[in-house]
Amino acid sequence: MSQPIVTRFAPSPTGFMHIGSARTALYAYLWAQKCGGTFILRIEDTDKSREVPGSIEHIEETLGWLGLTYDFGPRTPGPWGSNIQSERLDTYRAAAEQLYKKGLAYPDPFTKEELDALRAQAEAEKRAFLVRDYRPETTAVWDGTRALRFKHTKLERSVWTDAVRGELSAGPEALDDFVILKADGYPTYNFAHIVDDAAMGVTHVVRGDEFIASTPNYLALYDALGIPRPVFVTVPPILKDDRTKKLGKRDGAKDILEYRKEGYLRDAMNNYLALLGWNPGTDQEVFTMEELVAQFEIDRIHVSGAAFNETKLQWINREHMLKLSPHLFWEHAEEFLTPETVTLLDAKNLWSQVVPLMRERASTFSDIGVLDREGEYRHYYEAPSPDPSKLCWKEESQVATKARLEAILGLLEGVSDPWTVDAVKAAVWDYAEKEGKGQVLWPMRVALSGKDKSPDPFVIAGIIGRDETLARIRAACSVL
């Protein structure tokens, strides 16, 4: 029987969830789901100087919005105990003591000032600075008050296989005696994540390419602790749209929850994140989460960087918006519309008829909110105040415009039930083609909406109904 698949997402609680972090979490989640395995959220909070209060809750909220449900997390300990590193200090100390007793770790003999001086000397002599070159010949007794450094005993070439990049290697110059346990009892990242991955049975480590350079040191630790190596899954960097460098905060990278505030759907965000470094091997671009799980394969993750393109994200979001049922679409839209619009469209039972019009012009739900604040939907529940200067088509006189509207009124009064968009159009269309579409449809549009830009006047008439349509045209005639 094959080993159960276990993946993890292990962010630091620094207050900002970059789009790259969200993609790492998604890939780890998809692979665990694909294989019927376990997905863990682990909080790596050993650098207390960088911790931002509320970050753990922020991380949980982000994964919750994306629908990346974890089996074990900050509030759900596993058989190994807590998933918050600051609550696992005894575990790291025990592993560090194991290495010390084997002669594979030694108390750090250097102060920060001494290390800075040695580094500066190496730079002046134009040679690489490696702490192991200054390792003391005699190891002092470790009493727990000093930092502990890992001791490399085999200076040889490191070779490993990455599930995305294939075979990788690095020479012995990549190996150095790094700190594994600080003087305050907290482990370094380089040590803690390896101890935790082993304790939690992690089989696949989904990570960014910035960790490749440190892998030789990690491999030495795996061997020293007698830990089997996991499968390394190195994802490509996310680049600026112009592909000149990695996307960062200064380049417009936003916290992932900002996209929720802007009216993006979580399925669309997951869809886009998945394609930002992964190829399904087909022409399909729009995926449900279920489809992503079914089709996701590690060997289809890209090696080269993926460029972030918000226009493509908007396109994918629009495609997902179009797939929503009218009721679900309205539920999302309500969050971005003004209370007045929501109340009155609900009260007049018009929301289901307005939803198709909302779909036409929006790529995000915040687009709908912007249109609403500009008065885009007001004319469906509130009659406009007729403006004579807007009612006339180009150079058409008010007298001629009034005659057009009176003719339209007469045609519409003859429409028998049911009153529909098609029935309204059928009643007016021949007259419009005879007299001129601009001369007829322009004043009709403005009379019904009060706006020179609005949906088809037949659509407006169909939504607001016979009585309201006739009343608005009469009101327009009265001001001409």
Catalytic residues: 249
Q: How far apart are CA 135 and CA 177, in angstroms?
A: 8
Q: Which of 303, 364, 315, 29 is nearest to 167 (CA)?
A: 303
Q: How far apart are CA 55 and CA 284, in angstroms?
A: 36
Q: How far apart are CA 428 and CA 462, in angstroms?
A: 13
Q: How many CA atoms lie within 13 A of 266 on its CB side?
A: 13
Q: 3: which DSSP letter?
A: P
Structure tokens at 345: 């469209």
Q: How far apart are CA 387 and CA 403, in angstroms?
A: 16
8 Å CB contact between 194 and 227: yes
Q: How far apart are CA 189 and CA 12, in angstroms?
A: 10
Q: How far apart are CA 231 and CA 224, in angstroms?
A: 18
Q: How far is CA 121 from CA 125, 176, 277, in A?
A: 6, 17, 42
Q: Which helix H or strand E contains 168, and what residues bound it?
A: strand 166-170
8 Å CB contact between 336 and 372: yes
Burial class (CB in 10 A: 0-12, 13-18, 19+), 374: exposed
Virtual CA dihedral for 253, 255, 260, 262, nearest 10 degrees? -50
Please identify which residue in the block is written with the tokens 């009585």.
467
Report the first-to-last Cα separation within the chain, whole angstroms.
85
DSSP state string for 196-231: HHHHTT--EEEEEGGGTTTHHHHHHHHHHHTPPP-E
